[in-house]
Structure 1
Amino acid sequence: MAVDKSTLSVAVLALIAAGVSAPVILGQFLYEKEADRLTAYRDSKGLWTICKGLTTWRDKPIQEGRHVTAEQCDTENKRRETQAIAWVEHNVKVPLTATQKAGVASFCYWNLGVGNCTRSTFWRELNAGNMQAACEQIKRWIYDSGRDCRIRTNHCAGQPVRRAQESALTCWGVDELAIFDKTVCLSADNGTFTRCQSLPHRGKTLENGSRRIAAAC
């Protein structure tokens, strides 16, 4: 599955290229998806929400009429973004890049909620290391309160767009690793194989025609 990078903004792509941390990538992506509102508003599920889609503030539900300053919003957004990435790092059992962590955090922690996410096929595929299958599962979550968001009159057309973007982030680099797995690692005579350390054949002896190659990773 080739990652469709065209779904992501220039700003997000620039951060990825710069090699910034996962919370920074997540913060920019959420700003584009959620904006940064200083006065409480109702989200699509009717929950009072503020800043970058926060429905709670220091573990207390957002109340109607709540207003915060830009500085307060920035501080709480960053705290929650760091918290989201930490949750991903603690609960996902396979290695992820900073970009992939941002994708999982947006989809799972920020949007679906950890309960829905950890019971999903996406979660099972992710923790089994089936990244491409997991990313395809993200694209299936395109319903909002029973409404099919592919239907324009349901007024949730942003949902499929967001899912495509989260899928792209979560599978960022996976297609390149798959190519490396099948060509470079199998054809090398020896070496350290440092990029193989997260691949499925780690530590195994591999066949390459008439030669047997012991993967050093």
Structure 2
Amino acid sequence: MKNLSRWLGGSVIGGACGIALSISIGVVKHYEGTELESYPDPVGIPTICTGHTGPTVKLHQTKTPEECEALLAGDLGTAFDAINRNVTPEINATMPPTRRAGIASFIFNVGEGAFRRSTLLELLNAGQPRAACDQLSRWVYAQGKKLAGLVKRRAAERELCLAGLE
């Protein structure tokens, strides 16, 4: 929750980030769903709530809806923090909320390390937002297997990322 509070400040930047957060919550909830009991994801990673993973998640755990909301807020806060850490300040300052939301959803799904090493980030930081957004369509594989759910999710993230570009 501490990460999330940074995004809901009263400033104009906080307002724009609040919009991005709202959009990304909708995308993540739609594509992840919410399960109160842990389960293995399509590649066997123990997952609980709304796509939450990590070393503390074990199969047969349960959480309350309130605990799931807190996990989602923290996970998305971490994704937005990853944008701030990795996107140059000049690009970050001018990024529209829709692009920020699409990229945060992507980071939520693949992790900061994959984002940090991606051509998407390289192109974004080079001032090529269209080419960067187009990279999302490449991220549809899990353990070498193309997943229909990732194809749909990346299409939605790409659409958000491209919103407002001519």
Q: TM-score, normalised by structure 1?
A: 0.63
- Does structure 1 retain, via aligned residues, the 8 Å contact 2:83–2:104? yes
Equivalent AA in structure 2 for residue 23 of structure 1: L
Q: Residues of 2 paired with 1:79 and 1:145: CA distance?
A: 26
The correspondence for 2:131, drawn from 123, 130, 133, is 133
Task: Give CA deviations for 1:162-206 in whole Å, capped at 9, x if unaligned.
Answer: 11111111121122xxxxxxxxxxxxxxxxxxxxxxxxxxxxxxx
Name the structure with the higher helix share.
2
- Tell me what 2:38 maps to: 40
Q: Distance in 2 between matches of 1:96 and 1:61?
A: 34
CA distance in 1: counterparts of 2:81 and 2:118, whole angstroms = 20
> Which amino acid is 2:30 matched to?
E
The CA distance in 2 between the partners of 1:86 and 1:98, in whole Å, is 14
Contact 2:52 2:71 in 1 (8 A): no
- Structure 1: runs of 5+ lacking an equivalent: 1-18, 150-155, 176-217
User: What is the DSSP-based 3-state SS (H/G/I as helix, E as strand, rest coil) of the residue aligned with 1:173?
Assistant: coil
> What secondary structure does 1:139 align onto?
helix
Determine which structure has more spread, i.e. the larger CA radius of gyration: 1
Q: Residue deviations 1:144-165, cap 9 Å, x none?
A: 2112x2xxxxxx2111111111
Gaps of 5+ in 2: 1-15
CA distance in 2, matches of 1:113, 1:45: 15
Residue 81 in structure 1 maps to residue 80 in structure 2: no
Q: How far 1:32 moved relative to its partner?
A: 0.2
Aligned ranges 1:1-217 → 2 under 5 Å:
21-56=19-54, 60-93=55-88, 94=91, 95-107=94-106, 109-147=107-145, 149=146, 156-175=147-166
Q: Is the 8 A contact 2:86 2:116 kept in 1?
A: no
Contact 1:33-1:162 within 8 A present in 2 as well? yes
2:72 and 2:104 map into 1 onto residues whose CA distance is 13
Amino acid of the residue matched to residue 98 of structure 2?
T
Q: How many residues align?
A: 146
Length-normalised TM-score, structure 2 = 0.81
The runs of 4+ residues in structure 1 deviating greater than 6 Å are none
In 2, distance between residues paired with 1:29 and 1:85?
14
